[in-house]
Amino acid sequence: MSAHEYPIPVSELDAGGKEYRFPIRAAWVRGALEGHEATTAGTDGALVVRASKSGHDVVVHGTLDAALTMPCARCLEPAALAIRSNLSVLYVPASQLKGEADGERELTDEEADTLPFDGETVALDDLVRDELVLEIPMIPLCSEACPGMSPGPDVERAGDKPIDPRLAPLLDFAARKPK
């Protein structure tokens, strides 16, 4: 099993808590978002969290900052995405979240922000990846004023020269149409 990128050893925690600062390495983001249109903008981000112990549970609060890029939904040019997410999660021992024998279980509202941890380490890797994906807009734009795709300079304009010959029947039809 590979080492975690963002581990918090539970043995270091107490009720007072401890602050952790992790760099969100561009190489890690590239691997975490593999297969997704979004990728790293090439700069490292930051994960700053405060973790404290509450009984057997671990409470994590903090912020995630990262810079991503993905194609603009209008013009397909790279769109810069500044990701800033506030995190608030309760990690509980995995044995407390075990459901029915078949593994099927429905979460209650109180358990929505609850994640399991195994052993003596809380790994924030999956949380960071999920937050990055959830913060990506559905329709990313390079700018609000983006006009969208425009034809290149070598594309013929209607009226200048004949356009695609497959459209000739439509042009004939339009010419015969009474005005």
CA distance 29 to 69: 11
For residues 65 and 45, is the Cβ–Cβ distance under 8 A? yes
pLDDT in tens, 73-118: 988 899 999 999 999 999 998 887 665 444 566 666 666 678 888 8
What is the predicted pLDDT for the residue at 169?
84
pTM value is: 0.74
CA distance 8 to 19: 10
For residue 38, what are the CA distances in angstroms to 30, 44, 78, 155? 9, 15, 10, 30
pLDDT in tens, 51-66: 999 998 999 999 999 9
For residues 49 and 23, is the Cβ–Cβ distance under 8 A? no
Q: 25-39, 84-98, 146-160 — which is least confidently predicted?
A: 146-160
∠ CA 134-92-84, rounded to 5°: 25
Question: Strand 114-117 relative to strand 78-93: parallel, antiparallel, unpaired?
Answer: parallel
